[in-house]
Structure 1
Amino acid sequence: MLAGCLLSLFLPLLPAFFTIIFALLVIQAAYWRNGLLLGCCGFLASWHWQLTQYHQAQQLVLQNSLDFYQVKLLDVQQRSTDSTVLLQLLNGKAAGYRLKVSWQQPPALATGQHWRLALRLKAPSGRFNPGSPNPELRALLNQVVAHGYVNTSQPTIKLRQTQPMREALLLKLEQQYAALDTAVLMRALVSGEREFDATLWQGLRTSGLGHLLVISGLHISLVYGWSLLLLSWLLRRCGLRQAMNLAMLLALLPALAYAWLAGFAIPTLRAALALLIVLLGRLLLRPANPAGYWGLLCCSLLLLQPFWLLSYSFWLSLSAVALILLLLWRLGPAPRKFWQRCRYFFRFHLLLTSLMALLTLAFFSGFSGLALLSNLLFVPWCTLLAIPLLLMSLLYYLTGLPFAGVLWQLSDYALRPLNYWLTLSADLDLWWSQPYLGMVGACLLLLLVVAVLVVRAKASVLALLSATMLFAVLPAKLSSAQLTLLDSGQSTVLLLRQAGLTLLYLDLPVERSEALLQQQILPLLAYYRVSGLDAVVVPAYQREMQPALATLRQAYPQLQLYTAAAATGQSSSCEQLAAAYTTTVRHWRLPEQDPCVLTIMLNGWQLLLPGKLSVHSERQLLLAYPELTADWYLLADYGRATANSLAFLQQLAPVQLLLAANSAGAHPYPVQAVRPRLGLLNLPLHHSGEQGAVSIEFQPQYFRLHTERQRRWPRWTEKPTQ
């Protein structure tokens, strides 16, 4: 099975007849009793069939000429003027698959409603930036076949208004804890809905406690364990012979009810299936060893849902279980004496947290420096007190007994230390990013450390802790000049880093400046561990950008803002930037309406940034500076014909071109009038909208360029070979 998983990562979508081939190979392998071939072909058959069904459903939806769909609302995220809605198709051959659409000025929406909507759809797409997930593969994982919007010029008809039982129950529960201080944490632990603000998300990341607020195996096993203890005690008091076996079966009901309350999210489904497999092994089959159960669980889940192979949370959960089993085997049974148990507990968490830090490094290019302390403090606190008390409050309320508010208040008190710790962690800069290590390097390091544990090397705890903490002090690699051009749509976010100068170049629409800062710019700076910004260049600065730039100043108080306008109390001119960095920056000044044209030297390579360039200012530049050239040039005005004249491009004679713009839409960029000029001059163009974020490393004699789409893996979204 695992061999088939690895093989599928290198395969694009195959022609349909491969389903028959894989099915025949499964039969042949079963006849030969070849387990390796049987498992490999079994997974490939399941994977290929489900992938083919997804692509066929996507083609049917996108080719629908009527553009009217009967849908069910699964999730609604409401904003001031529009809403993002997750829909499930109810009719046609694509029934059961999902759509994600935006709805401008919608009526009152609620999950469970059935509508007939006119939709405009396209294939799932998104931004490809460093450290961000693959949006196309995320859509595949969530069975979303198309993105789009509701065509409000056509009639929208509500077919049925129903309130599912789960939503009605959650609404009643919300009324019980909505006024409490930790209501947002209670909501996450009761319903799985994590409606956190930016501060709490940052606190979860920095503290390394995100797993406590995701209803997963930890929470399902807690419900099952407490239910098993209670039911086994009651049934034994009744004198039943098979009390334990019956209790094991009946304890499934509360666990499944909790998973239902959480909306049967993917982590809860995995936990429920794992519990069922272990239970069947205990009751019906010969019990396996822990490693056998782990392998059976892993392969069963992937066979039922091959797309979980793309889920980081799936592999983190399974890897955490595998590491726990490894450490229990490595450390042996817990001693009986209290202080020896405390020492055992501390050593176990030290090893587990260090190993999980390496896994987090592989998946997310960084790890939390507070994870060890956070887990030592709050895993016991939450699993032994806070979460059981909250679940007891939930059960007590559902029974209809009086004074349920007292238990909810006690649960609030129990969760307040966690809430305070998350708020405190949000202000600490203890997320240690290592973007250049890569998944392969981190996984190899993890395997090396696991090998040290398996052979029971002396001082393995100290060695593991030292290997993990090494990444905390290891500086981000910056041996050469680096350029990163983000995939940010119709806006330019460019980060330049070299010795002596870290420069952020922003050309943003005013209405999107705050959202881009929170969602893309600050995460990019944290990903590359940028501790200080020397200069922020905003050529088209407007007063309405002040709130966004104030947020940036909070993170980087020492930054200096440079604009095309004259110097003010809050900003400096581009001429002053060139004067401050004479060896690196040159400003091509124009006497009237200076567009802030800058040349940045990057290890001997000249990068020309156009600022607010126009055809008229291009002519002025050519007349005033006949020596103006560039090795790299960022196309002005997103590749429109208002700039980028043939004469100017001929004069520059750049080696390469960069462009930050949308790749899909009614008006693709660069515009049709500019494209022939680029072809005539044979200028290579690196388009962030088409290729994802562009990253370049400049060496004196050469450069290395890669784009995020090239780095994305696996190849499942590619079309089959005809």
Structure 2
Amino acid sequence: MKMESCCVGILAGSLISLLLPAIPDWYWPLSLLFICIPLRCWFGAGLCLYLTSLSIQLQQYSTTSQQVLAQHSTIVAGTVVSIAQHYDGGSRFILQLSETVKDKAQPGAGALLLVRWFQAPVKLQQGQQWQLPVKLKVIRGLANPGSGWAEAQALVSGLVAQATVQSSGELAEPKLLGADISLRQQLFNQLDVALGDFQSKALILALTLGERPFSDELWLGLQATGLGHLISISGMHIALVFGWVLLSQYGWALLTKRWWWRFSLALGTALLAAWLYSAMAGYAVPTVRALLALVLLVLLKLCWRRSSGRQFCLLVAALLLLLQPFWLLSLSFWLSVLAVALVFYLGWRYPPAKGMRSMLLGFLRYQLIFSLLMLPLGLLFFQGIAPLSLLSNLLFVPWCSLLVIPLLLLVFFLQSFCPWPLTLLWQLVDVLLQPLLLWLHYCAEANWWWSVPQSGVVFTLLLMAALLLLLLPVRNRSLPLLMVLSLPLLFTINLKPAAQLHLIDVGQGTAVLLQQGKHGLLYDFGPRYGSYSATEAAVLPYLRYQGVHQLDYLILSHNDSDHSGHLALLRRAYPGARLVTDVAAVMPELNCRQLPAVWQQFSLQVLWPPGPAVSDVKNDQSCVLKLEIEGWSVLLTGDISSATEQKLMAFNPELGTNVLLLSHHGSKSSNQLRFLQQLAPRLALNSAGFANPYQHPSKEVQARLSLLQVPLYNSADMGAMQLRFSKEQLELKAVRPTRLVKWLENLPFGAETAATTR
């Protein structure tokens, strides 16, 4: 009971820490720990133990990060510790800082940097040592509801900063210090040659070395089928390797004398095989977690300690969180804990029977219950469900676990010692993976992924409650189950949807969504450079999350890459949307002046340009749009300059607005004081990237707004922003201030909500 209470306390401490505004210094929970132990308050001891571990590691991470980021531009030296990812014109890899650089001690030695190198002169290899001139930046991702959290992912992965290699020679030229490459890189190169142009090459690389060079279509297929866990090396794969090696020796160990010694050797061999597989996967976080859990299991077996499934799950989860307290921010960690707990629960609830038929029924039961339980979790965390998940898992989990993966790893093992490609064996693996590959391509093309808007969260929680009632060992579940499932009827009242404006966080660019229920109008589509587009990374997920089923209009203000985004992708996703722009090259249906005066509840007025080609400067060709809703007005100005601002005031002497989206992301060449004085906005919004090279919004513009006492809300600090309009007030909500883990955010200003009343 002592250990169980302590483990529960550790888990409780991890969950409580999510709600704390700040993590206390380590000596406070440590002091309380020494009070709890004499009082035998084991729950409190576990809670304090976790908070102490979290505080110490967070302080170490912060100190290292500050040391590394002390200089914006500097020279770093280190070792490439990941297999480089190559994309259009650039490479991305992880660099571990060495002890010295240029014969001097290097700040933050041992820290990990996420490095981007555009136009690298050589092919980067894991294990190489480089001296690089870089520009350093805090890791800070986009902040949109329903999207990933880059800061949390960096903390889980141990990355302290991101760096961009400067090839201009301002500091020094990049220099290769050591050309040796790692064993994992050698195996990758060998496998890359052996596989040639096999169709299943990406799947084989994912299942052997944990590298996932998947196409967009393959990613969509994995999402639509719910088979991502099968292709990404995780706890299931590590456990399978451990189980295969153990079973291959277990029977022989029991038949020989001194079976206990043989059994111990079998456990050690199986653990070694699992460790080697984890190493080949680059010690990815899920594989490390699984490996630590197996080490604990082996130790319990060797020490003859019996433990129930509940005790084992508690002990594993608690120890993992103590060793790596940042894993509480990892969704995959909690899903793994849930999956293991479910296995033990089903083993207790439905004891396994002998015979192939009973084993098959048990497998079907597990897959059914697990798939049903994953549905609400998918709704809650990924804003959608994969309706073919159950069928896909029933078909391909046994196929891959019992046949494909064992053969694939055996061929990979042989290939590691063979100097020439084992072409025939790899062809056999490729043939066995074809059914899975065809299924993934079919589901991607058929779009078997159902997006569920934000409003589905309430129903999600109710569905989870209903499933839990079904799983609980109680006799009469019909009444409470009926009560839970009838609650959605309370939410079927057809309320009039509120009109909203969303400033999507797309970094250094613009994307504004007007929404009325399931209908939307999109003004600009975010930036695009190389293979990256904010349209794909931020805009489309945001539209799905908000439940926008129909985009009526796509308005492109002007033809700049930070506004035009990936237009073709948008048009494929919403083929019924009409394109409105003066950019003839994209073949619009309407020019800016043909935009209807009314859309849903919004009144629309195009103030600029008065006609085609009024300026040789494309920024001054921006479509300036004024919106009116519920007596409130919003002005979207694109990238117009101060000269165009003067013309706008001349053409519209009474022009004013309640909300202003700053021109040109807050550039000092726009947003002149006289223009701001005439508009007299109550709120100013700005869309800019964090620590952008243009220093938008400029200090001059901030000073002008401060002089006029106009509050400024910048997407780099606030994340995505949502304006709700009603006759009484205008309310603004932002993502970053409302995130759950306050101590992970470091906002210089801002509040959870801001409101302006008449």
3-state SS, counterpart of residue 492 of structure 1: coil
CA-to-aligned-CA distance 1:38-73 (integer Å, 9 cap, x gap) = 211211121111111111111222226993332111
Question: Structure 1 residue 35 and structure 2 residue 42: aligned?
Answer: yes
Q: From 662, 668, 674, give the equivalent of 2:695.
A: 668
Q: In 2, distance between residues paired with 1:476 and 1:55? A: 49
Q: Secondary structure at the match of 2:700?
A: coil
Distance (Å, rounded) in 1 between the aligned partners of 2:601 and 2:328:
50
* Structure 1 residues 716 and 615, CA gap change in structure 2 (3 angstroms): closer
Partner of 2:18: 9
Q: Which residue in the other structure is 1:126 paired with? A: 141
Partner AA of 2:697 in structure 1: P
Secondary structure at 1:686 match in 2: strand
1:601-640 CA-to-partner distances (Å, cap 9, x unmatched) read: 3444322222453434434433433443323221222222
The one of 606, 622, 625 equivalent to 2:633 is 606
- Of 223, 226, 249, which aligns to 1:208? 226
1:690 corresponds in structure 2 to 717
Q: Which residue of 1 aligns with 2:575?
A: 557
Offset at residue 400 of structure 1 (A)? 5.0
For 1:322, the equivalent position in structure 2 comes to 341
1:229-628 equivalences under 5 Å are 229-236=247-254, 238-242=256-260, 243-334=262-353, 336=355, 338=357, 342-398=360-416, 400=418, 404-436=422-454, 442=460, 446=464, 449-456=467-474, 479-499=497-517, 501-506=519-524, 511=529, 515-541=533-559, 548-564=566-582, 570-579=588-597, 581=599, 584=602, 585-588=604-607, 591-592=610-611, 593=614, 595-611=622-638, 613-628=640-655
Aligned to 2:121: 107
Structure 2 residue 81 is the aligned partner of structure 1 residue 74 = yes
CA distance in 1, matches of 2:494, 2:253: 59
**Relative to structure 1, is the Cα distance of residues 325 and 502 closer, same or farther in structure 2, using a 3 angstrom cutoff?**
same
Distance 1:579 1:647, change over 3 A: same
SS in 1 for 2:464: helix
What is the identity, as a one-letter code, of the residue corresponding to 2:658? D
Q: Distance in 1 between matches of 2:657 and 2:472?
A: 56
| 2:182 counterpart of 1:155 | no
Provide closer, same or farther for how the CA distance between residues 294 and 441 of structure 1 changes in structure 2, counting only shifts above 3 A: farther
Check 1:679–1:167 CA distance in 2 against 1; reply closer, same or farther (3 A cut): same
| Aligned equivalent of 1:640 | 667
Cα distance in 2 for residues equivalent to 1:288 and 1:582: 62
Distance 1:590 1:226, change over 3 A: closer
Looking at structure 2, the residues matched to 105 and 204 of structure 1 have their Cα atoms a distance apart, in angstroms, of: 31
Which residue of 2 is the match for residue 22 of structure 1? 29
**Aligned pair in 2 of structure 1 residues 202, 221: CA closer, same or farther (>3 Å)?**
same
Paired with 2:250 and 2:173, the residues of 1 have a C-alpha distance of: 58
Q: Identity over aligned residues, as a percent?
A: 37
Conservation of the 8 A alpha-carbon contact between 1:490 and 1:660: yes
Task: Name the SS for the 1:287 alignment partner.
Answer: coil
Q: State how far apart, in whole Å, the 1-side matches of 2:519 and 2:422 are.
A: 60
Structure 2 CA distance for partners of 1:520 and 1:64, relative to 1, 3 Å = closer
Q: 1:478 to 1:88 in 2, by over 3 A?
A: farther
SS of alignment partner, residue 534 of structure 1: strand
Task: Give the match for residue 653 of structure 1.
Answer: 680
Following the alignment from structure 1 to structure 2, what is the Cα–Cα distance between the partners of residues 335 and 666? 67
State the SS of the aligned residue for 2:380: helix
Higher relative CO (Cα under 8 Å, sequence separation at least 6) belongs to: 1
C-alpha contact 2:505 2:719 (8 A) present in aligned 1: yes
Q: Is 1:709 the equivalent of 2:736?
A: yes
CA displacement 1:487-523 (0-9 Å, x = unmatched): 2222111111115851111065675797232322223
Give the superposition deviation at 1:402.
10
Deviations 1:304-346 (A, max 9, x none): 11111111111111112122322333334347473x6555543
Q: 1:233 to 1:394 in 2, by over 3 A?
A: farther
- Return the offset for 1:227: 1.0
Structure 2: distance between partners of 1:124 and 1:441: 35
AA matched with 1:541: N
Residue matched to 2:241:
223
Deviations 1:526-572 (A, max 9, x none): 33343321100002137999993233222221111111468995331
What is the RMSD of the two structures over their aligned residues, measured on CA atoms?
A: 3.5
Range 669-678 or range 681-690, more displaced: 669-678
> Which range moves more in the overlay, 429-438 or 346-355?
429-438
Greater displacement, 585-594 / 207-216:
585-594
Q: Deviations over 1:425-458 (max 9, x none)?
A: 2123343334525879856753563244214356
Deviation digits for residues 115-168 of structure 1, max 9, x if unmatched? Answer: 223333232222222222222222222111122223432133322221222222
Whole-angstrom CA distance in 2 between matches of 1:356 and 1:119 = 43
Moved more, 606-615 or 194-203: 606-615
- Rounded to whole Å, the distance in 1 between the matches of 2:297 and 2:455 is 37
**Structure 2 partner of 1:88:** 96
Match of 1:61 among 60, 68, 73: 68
Is the contact made by 2:142 and 2:505 (CA closer than 8 Å) also made in structure 1? yes
Residues of 1 paired with 2:221 and 2:550: CA distance?
21
Q: Distance in 2 between matches of 1:694 and 1:505?
A: 15
The 3 A distance-change label for structure 1 pair 582 and 195 is closer
| Greater shift in the superposed pair: 607-616 or 35-44 | 607-616
Please give the alpha-carbon distance, in whole angstroms, between the structure 2 residues aligned to 1:346 and 1:580.
55
CA distance in 1, matches of 2:531, 2:51: 45
Separation (CA, whole Å) in 2 of partners of 1:122 and 1:688: 17
- After superposition, give the CA deviation of every residue in 1:329-382 in whole Å (9 maximum; x if it has no partner): 3334347473x6555543432221111122222322333222122212222222
CA distance in 2 between partners of 1:37 and 1:255 (Å):
35
- 8 Å CA contact retained: 1:476, 1:529: no
Shift of 1:181: 1.7
TM-score by length of 1: 0.90
| SS of corresponding position for 1:32 | coil
What SS is found at the alignment partner of 1:106? coil
- 1:206–1:428 contact (8 Å) kept in structure 2: no
What CA distance in whole angstroms lies between the structure 1 residues aligned with 2:530 and 2:206? 29
Structure 2: distance between partners of 1:648 and 1:162? 61
Instruction: Classify 1:569/1:707 alpha carbon distance in 2 versus 1 (closer, same or farther; 3 Å).
Output: closer
Q: Distance in 2 between matches of 1:438 and 1:299?
A: 32
Assess if the C-alpha contact under 8 Å between 1:662 and 1:689 holds in 2: yes
Pick which of 138-147 and 122-131 moved more: 122-131
C-alpha change, 1:569 and 1:488, in structure 2 (3 Å) is closer
Aligned partner of residue 251 in structure 1, secondary structure = helix
Distance 1:7 1:510 in 2: 40
